[in-house]
Amino acid sequence: DIQMTQSPSTLSASIGDRVTITCRASQSISRWLAWYQQKPGKAPKLLIYKASSLESGVPSRFSGSGSGTEFTLTINSLQPDDFATYYCQEYNSYSSYSFGQGTKLEIK
Amino acid sequence: QIQLQESGPGLVRPSETLSLTCTVSGGSITSSADSWGWIRQSPEKGLEWIGTIFYSGTTSYNPSLKSRVTISLDTSTNQFSLQLTSVTAADTAVYYCARRGLGLYWGQGMLVTVSS
C-alpha cells in the first residue's frame, strides 16, 4: 500500500497570503496525484489532477507541482472562500487510491 | 455534466449488511473512460477507499475490507451498488460514491450509522 503524508495538519493564514501544502508518497507515484478541497458537510471537490493540471472552473490562484514522491499545492492570494480542508490523493494504480490525512486551512 | 447521488438506509444494526446505491445521471456507467467507486470518511480513519468497479464489471477492493465488500453494476438503471457485510460501529461513516475521470468526482455523501 502507498502511504500519503501531508504537512502541516493545520495551517493558519490571512487573506491575501500565499500558502503551500506538502504531500509525500511512500513510493514513487510519477505524477499520479490529485488535490481536493473539502468544506464542512460537503464532498471533496477536485482542484488539481496529474500533479499540476488545473480542473476546469478552479481559480488560477491554485497550482500544483511535483513528481515522484514529493508534491505541493500552492494557493496564491488567499480568498475567504479558500478556508477549508485540503487532501492529496494518489492514483498510481488505476483501481485503488490512498489519501493524505488532510490539511485544515484556518483564518489567522 | 455527470452527477452522482447516494441512497440507502442511514441506520444499520450491528452484524447486518450495509447496502447503498449510487445513481448516475448525465452519463453512462458503461463508459470505458471512467471507473466507479466507493469511499468513506470518518474522523477516526479519514478518507478511506473501499473499492472500484469498471464498466466491464471487474472489481478491486481495499484489502482491509475485501472479505466483507461487494460492488456491482446495474446497467439497466445506470446505478452501482455497495454491500458491506457484518458491520460494526467502526463502519459508521459518511459514504461517498465517485467517478474516476481526470480525478475523482464525488456524490454528495450519505451518513450511515451502525447502532442497535
In this predicted model, what pLDDT tens digit does every residue of A68-79 receive, in sequence order?
999 999 999 999
Interchain contact B81–A (C-beta under 8 A): no
Predicted confidence at residue B33, as pLDDT, reads 82
**What residues of chain A score a pLDDT lower than 70?**
none
A44/B46 CB distance under 8 A: no
| Contacts by residues A75-82 (CB-CB < 8 Å, ≥ 24 positions apart) | A75/A18, A75/A19, A75/A20, A75/A105, A76/A18, A77/A16, A77/A17, A77/A18, A78/A13, A78/A14, A78/A15, A78/A16, A78/A17, A78/A18, A78/A19, A78/A105, A79/A15, A80/A15, A82/A37
**Which of A1, A46, A102 is nearest residue B104 as measured by Cβ atoms?**
A46
Question: Does the pLDDT at position B32 exceed 90?
Answer: no
Residues of A in contact with B49 (CB under 8 A): 96-99
Predicted confidence at residue B22, as pLDDT, reads 98
Most A CBs within 10 Å, among B34, B47, B66, B96, to test the A interface: B47
Q: How confident is the model over B77-89, as a mean pLDDT?
A: 97
